[in-house]
A and B are shown apart, each in its own frame.
Chain A
Amino acid sequence: MKRMRIVAAIIVAATLTLTACTGTPHSPTANEGGSTAGANTGTNSTFVYDAHSTAITSWDPSTSYSNEIIVLSNVYETLTRYNDNTQKVEPLLATSWKSSADGMQWTFTLRPDIKFHSGNPLDAAAAKAAIERTIKLDAGAAYIWGAVKSIDAPDATTLVFNLSYAAPLDLISSADYAAYIFDTKAAGSEDLTAWFEAGHDAGSGPYSVTKWQQGQEVEVTLDAFPDYWGGWDGAHYDKVVYRVVGQATTAAQLVRSKEVSFVAQLTPELWGSFKDDNSVQVTERASWQNLFAFYNTTDGPLKNPNLRKALNYGINYDGIVAALKGSATRTPGIVPKGLVGYSEGLAEYAYNPDQATQLLAKEGYGPGKKALDLTLTYTSGDDQQELAMTLVKSSLAALNVNVSLTALQWPTQWAQAQSEDASKRQDIFVMYWWPDYADPYSWFINLFHSEEKPFYNLSYYKNAGLDAQIDKVEAVLAVDKPKAEQMYIEMQKELFNDAPAVVLYTSNYQRVLQNSVAGYVDNPAYPNVAFAYDLQPAAQ
């Protein structure tokens, strides 16, 4: 018995040490057709997407507001699509569009003869019904249609939006959430919402859902839709498989054994190890996703703007970016590069412990004085965020600011921040934000516009002057882009001075692809999406 104990002790300890490399080889179930990932067969080729967390949280194209866009973007289409390279909106379901001079009426001309996967025609009436359902359900990102007063479908290919205030509707219709056009009649007599959640799709995109295995590693399988309006001439993948592999080390093994075609996210170290490897491709680009620390501007010590600024000077941003080893960069201001309102000239907070000490001393805190105790909540499960939090805590500790870190599951973290009882709320709330369409509006309206009850404005920030600017800016953008740009820059200056929040870093996307995948473009307007139809299974 005692030998057994010793052996057991060794096994348990060794298992703890080695847990990281328990990448059990899985049989390549992704390739049911017998082909290997990305094989150059022209027909019968499979694109295997490796996601690091569960792909599907909702199948409903109206209310979906999470990871599932990586799947839905290949199943559903929007009226327009944003091209990040040209910074222009391009045709998709709509071939052309025009707006009235005041930006209050938008007319879209739809591509003729498009069919949904259900076989029903995708005409103006169907598009109207889809958008109206999204507006009516008013969940997820439905707010993007906030300007729409009514929709008309005078004929099969003409769709007219009448707005209550001017808005850039071409951009809005390219949104990654809530802008999908779907067949509202696909479920027949059944309840459409329930029908969606059972894993059915009602899209018009190049692929349709054939298999959904909730909770399984091979979660979703899509098959080519033979009647897709774009046609299937030339090289295309005819199957798309979504495989969920949480462990980055396991994902890296799957790349090496060529079991996956595309990995959306690895650790910077693992990604770096593929950089010099000629047997795979890597891509890297700045995203539109930035990590915010929101300060509680209504309760607790951070009500005081001097203390908020002291924290802003006390955080070692360059250290965070260095430790994240290429998976993050800094952005001046709030709006990331590639969007209206981005400006190299904006001031940004830099690590300056002396200035931080002075500001703290003004309020009686700092080294040798009173300790400033703060609570901070962040979302658990993201290694990069966790690493940044360790560094924030560390650099503030040197200033006699004790930050107590709590990692919470997102729903808990969010609910706590929205507590009715203000004393239960945190001093600092950390989360990522990215836009719903290629426009900075999402940051300002959601994060900094005052709210009756806190929703996403988790600084609880109220600034009437800023509110007035935010309320106006989209209408200005619809008719006068340079003026809107100037307004966005002014708003960022205001937020810099008042310091209700600070951007810790902007994420970089670091992907790994097999050499057999050709034509991949990382488009930050559609985070983590690989448009499989645009990719070609090419010769190695």
Chain B
Amino acid sequence: MSRLNRVTNAGQGSEPRGGSAFGPTSAGRRAVRWMRENPLFAFGAAIVMIVVIFGVLAPFLAPFPDDASTATHPFETLVAPSAEHLFGTDQVGRDILSRVIYGIRISPVIAAAVIASSCIIGIPLGLLAGHFGGVIDEVIMRITDIFLAVPALLLALAFAVVLPPSPYSTMIAIGIAWWPWYARLVRGEAKSVTTRRYVENARILGLPRWRVMFRHVLPNSVTPVIVQASLDFGGIILTAASLSFLGLGAQDPTPDWGLMVNQGQGYFATQWWVVTFPGLAILITALAFNLLGDGIHERLDPRRVVSR
């Protein structure tokens, strides 16, 4: 067993792997230097950090936490930004700043859930297809072809129309459209890893195929998924916002950014703040995650990332 692990590690040594990029030796210094060389990544990371902190501490940071749920103030509607309401109030008198802060708990969380579910479905299927090949590969890949034939947003839209409008439906709808990309990615990687010598050696030594697949093929195939996932985060936030903008996602009073933009569109010419702040929240968050994803992309193996 110990010999085998050595063989595996030797194999990995020649392959770039996720963990080694931020290895334990002088990690801090290297990271700082690398960030200095990549100011956009640093900027993205900083914004993402701020967003996460605001999301976690929403109840303490939002000036009017009740306004993110059922509270309304019908006699203080459409108040312009002021010291009391930094972002103004909306059509039913809710504090927009509080709703934007609580909104962090909706779209970005949807994005995380979609990526998690896409990984849970896509990685095993891709692994099976890539490692075993043959009929299994054909069947799984033809299924992904069907999904990939339709643009992701359109497919998500189609599912969202059928499901009752809620944040969960948004997750399911986007997840259904997203997993085939991950399956594809892992399948390609697994196929090439399977033909490597250390994997063949493991098989020649008589290890069961399942074991070979999980111990040797899987760890060496997931790197591009990490890169892809980091790049997708911003895109999924935008997709989720688009769905709720069209009324297919979260419903009032959920403080979803896309929904807030949708509800504010009638006030754009007269009360600019109702759409502007949730719109900026979408813009900044999506941008920050994209910058972060690009940085990870550059640091890790960039060759096998698919574009969409």
Contact = CB atoms under 8 A, between A and B. Distances in A.
B282 A16 contact: yes
A21 B268 contact: yes
A contact patch SS: helix
Interface string B217-244: 0000000000000010011001001100
Best-buried of A13, A19, A273 by chain B (most CB within 10 Å): A13
B243 to A, nearest CB: 11
Interface in B67-102: 70-72, 74-75, 77-78, 91-93
A393 B78 CA distance: 19
Nearest to A395: B72
A319 interface: yes
B20 interface: no
Nearest to A380: B247
Contact of A273 (B75, B270, B282): B270
Nearest to A317: B74
B291 interface: yes
Given A19-B265, A395-B72, A10 B297 contact: no
Nearest to B308: A5
Nearest to B277: A17
Contacts of B28: none
B283 A17 contact: yes
Contacts of A21: 268-269
Nearest to B77: A323
Interface size class of A (residues with CB under 8 A): 35 or more
B92 to A, nearest CB: 5
A16 B268 contact: no
B245 A323 contact: no
Contacts of A247: 265
B148 to A, nearest CB: 18
B42 interface: no
Contacts of A320: 74
B264 to A, nearest CB: 7
A442 interface: no
Interface string A305-330: 00000000000101110110100000
A383 B78 CA distance: 15
Interface size class of B (residues with CB under 8 A): 35 or more
A12 B261 CA distance: 13
Interface in B4-47: none
B290 interface: yes
A395 B286 CA distance: 35
Nearest to A3: B294
Interface string A381-408: 0010011001101110110000001010
Nearest to B287: A9
B245 A249 contact: no
B190 to A, nearest CB: 24
Nearest to B283: A13
Interface string A233-262: 000000000000001110010000000000
B290 A269 contact: no
B287 A405 contact: no
Contacts of B283: 9-10, 13-14, 17
B119 to A, nearest CB: 20
A12 B268 contact: no
B287 A390 contact: no
Interface in B265-308: 265-271, 275-276, 279-280, 282-283, 286-287, 290-291, 294, 297, 307
Given A9-B287, A395-B72, A405-B252, A20 B282 contact: no
A21 B75 CA distance: 27
Contacts of B267: 20, 267, 269
A2 interface: yes
Interface in A256-279: 267, 269-270, 272-273
A273 to B, nearest CB: 6
A19 B278 CA distance: 13
A1 interface: yes
A468 interface: no
B242 A20 contact: no
Interface in A12-28: 12-14, 16-21
Nearest to B78: A269
Interface of A: 1-2, 5-6, 9-10, 12-14, 16-21, 247-249, 252, 267, 269-270, 272-273, 316, 318-320, 322-323, 325, 380, 383, 386-387, 390-391, 393-395, 397-398, 405, 407
10 contacts: A9-B234, A17-B276, A18-B268, A21-B268, A270-B266, A380-B247, A387-B91, A391-B92, A393-B70, A394-B253
Given A269-B267, A390-B252, 8 more contacts: A2-B297, A6-B287, A17-B275, A18-B268, A19-B261, A249-B266, A323-B93, A407-B247
Interface of B: 70-72, 74-75, 77-78, 91-93, 231, 234-235, 238, 241-242, 245, 247, 251-253, 258, 261, 263-271, 275-276, 279-280, 282-283, 286-287, 290-291, 294, 297, 307
Nearest 6 A/B pairs, CB to CB: A17-B279, A319-B74, A20-B268, A13-B283, A20-B265, A394-B72
